[in-house]
Chain A
Amino acid sequence: MRYLWFLLLLLPLALSPFPYYLTLLNFFALSAMVVLSLYVLTGLAGMTSFAQAAFMGMGAYATALLTIKAGLSPWLGLGAGLLFALLLALLLGALTVRLKGHFLPLSTIAWQVALYILAGNLVGLTGGHTGLTDLPPIHFFGISLDTGFRYAFLTLFLLVLLVLALYNLRQSRIGRALLALRGDALAAASFGVDPAVLRLKAFLLSGVIAGLAGFLYAHFLRFVNPTPFSLEASIKYLVMAVAGGVGSIPGVMLGAAFFTGLEDWLKDLLPLLLGRQGNYETIGYGLILALILILAPKGLWPLVERYLPSRDLGVPKAEPLSLKSPDGPRGEVVLEVQGLQKSFGGLLAVAGVSFDLRRGEILALIGPNGAGKSTTFNLVAGALLPDRGQVRLFGKEITGLPPYRIHALGLGRTFQHPHLFLELTVLENAALGTYSRTRAGFLQALLGLSRREEERALATAYRALKRVGLESLALEKAERLSVGQQRLLEIARLLASGAEVLLLDEPAAGLRAQEKREFASLLRSLAREGYTVLIVDHDMDLIMGLADRVVVMNYGEKIAEGAPKEVQRNPLVRAAYLGEEEVA
């Protein structure tokens, strides 16, 4: 199916009598590469860059300098171009990918402007605004690619390869992790994703793709000057991507095709309408963009996609990953919490709480509202840093480790409000759990070398879905699940991750009575298999019937610990819940 993209290579043949349209075709292919770099960055990783043209410029100037000034082969220029784009991305990325939301796009604007000014003013190196002329054409097995017709084969071929590679990436664990990261960094981190590193890698990939486009651009025109690498150009690419639909590969390609054609048309039309020459196409650009954003906020492609047949992927049949199943003597201490303390400003939310979690038990952490249960939970899971105290998992100290490190050691958590990724399928959501049990990196994913591992990961996820009884919904989008099913999916994701210690944050909230009973029996059978469960909840009926032991908190302190029956009789607990007079 996806190999149909190779049909694009027929376009130069069809357009061969029209040299002007061949040029336009080349420009489309180059723009498409740049918007694909934005697909990686924005569509997958949820970051935005106004500096894609600057990355292009790196590729273009590097090859221009090497081929003109040093007389080297364009292929060396390609290497240098990619390297420079990579270095720039590394520099920008290292400074900015850890920042939230708007800082990255704004700072890329600033970088873009600064680099453009440098390119225009370092006359000795770049030739200033007049630029560098007479780049040699690219030779390919003795054929000189010096016409638009021949060049179009090169650009389109590389474009199709890029498209296929990015499809591979999207279907891989990396693609899933990037999408998860975009939606919810905390949930992604709780499954072993290191947000800063993964974002930086996406930024690098995006920079290199744009650098490649810049290299091709330079050898197509055989001339470079700063204009095509300006902020306006970067904005144009972003407009293409967003207007087409930045969330999908066909979307950004559609945007590139649409705007390449539109720009050409507006350039002819507007001077006629206005009776003057000038760069008026920007007006049309801006207004059409505004219109698309208001009428189709997700871009044009989702409107088209609705009418296309959707493809069924089928249920995975491969051998699941061999996860270590929980073993070890029942009753051994797996998680040890000692003197945990955390204050927010003047409020002491958790004041020196200690308890042990033993293998195969269900321990409930309860207490009235504001007792510090959730804070304790987040301290254990690594989402908050404790002021004092220690947490040990399987005897290893994990205090203050980030969630993605803790998860790798065998602890998994769910969230008070299910943190799922609604635009992914149920199966993909569960497969996110396998992230830290699989290895394939960006390069393997792009080249499609991780398929076997990927199939096994999906099979693992499917097995976990079966375990909780969601297998019939595996291929549905997660947005279609009821609250109860979402809770089950979160458990499936934990099971797929190979975690042995399960931290559940109010897992029964929003469930109906029947669902609660089923949920409780699922947890009990998991505990029998050797999983260890720490559960925070308000629901006394559920807790008292389910938990082996209960820890009760009030005002940040542990006030009681023991079997449910004992705790229920404890006067301190009764006072905390019912406000009875304290019995001395």
Chain B
Amino acid sequence: MDATILSFLLLDGLQNGVVYGLLALSLVLVFAVTRVILVPIGELLMFAPLSLVWLLEGKLPGTLWLALVLGGAWALMARGRGALLPLVGGVGLFLLFLLAKEVPPLAYLAAVLLVVYLGVATYRVFFQPMRGATVLSLLIMAVGLHVAYQGLGLVFFGPEQFRPAPLLSGEVVVGLSWQGVLVLLFAALSLMALYLFFRFSLFGKALLAAAENRLGARLLGIRPEEAGMVAFGIASLLAAFSGLLLAPLINAAYFMGFMLGLKGFVAAILGGLASYPVAFLGALLVGFFESFTSFYASAYKEALVFLLLVPALFYQSLRARTVEE
């Protein structure tokens, strides 16, 4: 291996690693606040670039109808004043999509808002009614939604892969495209924004409080469903941006989100589903590991990534005391 290949692999690993990292952060956040392991995050991620492709071709994507149906269900379940948000949001989203056909800047915005709306509606319709359920039931619900959304993705977008035009074309140096730089920049910005949000805003602190101790937060007037909606919203937002930025580099297809999400899980588990910085570092590790294994043993790269878990789990299991209250 020479220096060129090494730097190429490192850049590739970094670029994928930061995306896994953002997914891992979203997963940790959603899990901490709602106890949901958001398996369908990969589908949310893929829905963004695929909807964008449809809009740029002047078609309305099926995801819009899915979002509107779920939004309708949300409005029905919320009733009263609570129904205002989904109704106004749904109408706004629909109008935005009509305007955004073949208008790139609006189309990007529409794709992001669609995914955020869909993510929040998913929480309200499927997870909030189960709020007393065990982690296991919530996980199975998440898996069910992953399966359903993936199947719907196939119906909406077909089995083909799409490559939207990059926002910035050309390469900075060999192996690093401007689009790749954009991905890294976005990751850095999101990390900073998340840090500021949780460190300094009252809402961010309320969210952390709800994650730490649900009952206590509730007694202080933090509504758990609001906290859950915000957590799902942030996770969907990060997923949508990651999807839009990543799609020109790796293509987009209905089935591709799951692998990305799973690698986010691996990273989140490396961080113990608890620590944000460790989860992000874990994601970078996954990224580098993957890019090097794909160089040496490409057929097995996915398998090897998951075997990364073995030492992490072993360490966790040594630490665990089985008898706990």
Contacts and interface: CB of A to CB of B under 8 A. Distances in A.
A282 B148 contact: yes
Interface string B121-148: 0000010011001011101110111111
Interface string B264-289: 01100100010000000000000000
Interface in A379-418: 383, 402-404
Interface in A204-235: 232, 235
A13 interface: no
A422 to B, nearest CB: 15
Chain A interface secondary structure, helix, strand, loop or mixed? helix
A48 interface: yes
Contact of A286 (B146, B159, B273, B302): B146
Given A99-B316, A282-B147, A238 B140 contact: yes
Contacts of B317: 95-96, 98-99
Given A95-B314, A105-B139, A189-B323, A121 B149 contact: no
A57 interface: no
Interface stretch (A112-120, A361-369, A424-432, A509-517): A112-120
Contacts of B265: 106, 109-110
B185 interface: no
Nearest to B140: A242
A7 interface: no
B189 interface: no
A404 B77 CA distance: 48
Nearest to A101: B135
A232 B151 CA distance: 12
B313 A99 contact: yes
Contacts of B133: 293, 297
Contact of A185 (B262, B299, B322): B322
Contacts of A115: 303
B167 interface: no
B325 A186 contact: yes
Given A278-B159, A285-B144, A294 B320 contact: no
Contacts of B139: 48, 102, 105
Contacts of A282: 147-148, 150-151
Contact of A109 (B152, B262, B303, B323): B262
Interface stretch (B197-205, B230-238, B304-312): B304-312
Given A107-B313, A279-B154, A297-B130, A290 B302 contact: no
A121 B135 CA distance: 34
A107 B309 contact: yes
Given A110-B266, A282-B150, A290 B37 contact: no
A56 B299 CA distance: 23
Contacts of B140: 48, 238-239, 242, 289, 293
A401 to B, nearest CB: 11
B98 to A, nearest CB: 25
Contact of B126 (A294, A383, A404): A294
Contacts of A279: 151, 154
Nearest to A385: B321
A283 B155 contact: yes
Given A105-B136, A117-B303, A286-B145, A195 B322 contact: yes
B160 interface: no
A387 B143 CA distance: 44
Interface string A115-143: 10110010000000000000000000000
Interface residues of A, number: 53
Contacts of B155: 274, 276, 278, 280, 283
B313 A96 contact: yes
Contacts of B299: 117, 121
Contacts of A293: 130, 133, 137, 140-141, 144
A242 B138 CA distance: 12
Contact of A383 (B302, B322, B325): B325
A289 B306 contact: no
A287 B148 contact: yes
Contact of A283 (B135, B136, B151): B151
Nearest to B138: A293
A399 B150 CA distance: 54
A114 B306 contact: yes
A297 B140 CA distance: 11
Scoring B155, B303, B304 by chain A CB atoms within 10 A of each residue's CB, the highest score goes to B303
B65 interface: no
A117 B273 contact: no
Given A185-B322, A297-B130, A118 B152 contact: no
Contact of B273 (A95, A102, A110, A111): A102
A465 B37 CA distance: 43
Contacts of B150: 282
A110 B148 contact: no
Contact of A235 (B147, B154, B307): B147
Interface in B177-222: none
Interface in A525-560: none
B295 interface: no
Contacts of A281: 151
Nearest to B298: A121
Given A98-B317, A274-B155, A114 B303 contact: yes
A103 interface: yes
Contacts of B325: 186, 383
A286 B149 contact: yes
B141 A280 contact: no
Contact of B300 (A50, A96, A100, A121): A121
Given A238-B143, A297-B130, A195 B135 contact: no
B324 interface: yes
A281 B151 CA distance: 8
B313 A185 contact: no
Contacts of A113: 262, 302-303, 306
Most A CB within 10 A of own CB, among B31, B37, B130, B317? B317
A110 B313 CA distance: 11
A232 B39 CA distance: 13
A83 interface: no
B96 to A, nearest CB: 26
A50 B142 CA distance: 13
A286 B151 contact: yes
Contacts of A99: 313, 316-317, 320
Contacts of A109: 262, 265
Nearest to A110: B306
A113 B307 CA distance: 10
Given A286-B149, A383-B323, A106 B136 contact: no
B74 to A, nearest CB: 14
A274 B158 CA distance: 12
26 contacts: A95-B314, A96-B313, A99-B320, A101-B135, A106-B269, A109-B265, A110-B265, A111-B306, A113-B302, A114-B302, A118-B303, A121-B299, A195-B322, A195-B323, A274-B155, A278-B154, A278-B155, A279-B154, A282-B147, A283-B148, A285-B144, A286-B149, A286-B151, A289-B141, A290-B148, A293-B133
Given A95-B310, A282-B150, A293-B140, 16 more contacts: A42-B136, A48-B140, A99-B316, A100-B324, A103-B313, A103-B316, A106-B37, A109-B265, A110-B265, A114-B307, A235-B147, A283-B151, A286-B145, A286-B147, A297-B137, A403-B323
Interface of B: 31, 37, 126, 129-130, 133, 135-137, 139-141, 143-152, 154-155, 159, 262, 265-266, 269, 273, 299-300, 302-304, 306-307, 309-310, 313-314, 316-317, 320, 322-325
Closest 4 CB pairs of A and B: A286-B148, A283-B151, A289-B144, A282-B151
Interface of A: 42, 48, 50, 95-96, 98-103, 105-107, 109-111, 113-115, 117-118, 121, 185-186, 189, 195-196, 232, 235, 238-239, 242, 274, 276, 278-283, 285-287, 289-290, 293-294, 297, 383, 402-404
